[in-house]
Amino acid sequence: MNLALFDFDGTITTRDTFTPFLRFAIRPHRAVLGGLLISPVIIAHRLRMISTTRTRPIVARAGFQGAPVDSVRALGRQYATEALPTVIEAQAMERLKWHQHRGDTVAVVSAGLDVYLGPWCEAHRVELICTELEERDGRMTGRYRRGDCSGPTKATLIRATFDLDRFETIYAYGDTTEDREMLALANRKYYRWKEIDDGP
| pLDDT (tens digit per residue) in 78-110 | 999 999 999 999 999 999 999 999 999 999 999
Number of domains making up the chain? 1
Q: Residue 41: is its pLDDT beyond 80?
A: no
Asked if the model's pLDDT at residue 63 lies above 70, the reply is yes
Domain coverage including residue 38: 2-196
* Nearest-angstrom CA–CA distance, 73 and 115: 5
Torsion angle in degrees (nearest 10) through CA of 68, 69, 72, 78: -130
CATH number at residue 57: 3.40.50.1000
In angstroms, the CA 62 to CA 58 distance is: 6
Computed on alpha carbons and rounded to an integer, the radius of gyration of the chain in Å comes to 17
Rounded distance, CA 15 to CA 27, Å? 23
Confidence of residue 49 (pLDDT cuts 50, 70, 90): low
> Residue range 134-147: average pLDDT?
96
Q: What kind and span of H or E run contains 25?
A: helix 18-25
Q: Model confidence at 27, in pLDDT bands (50, 70, 90)?
A: confident
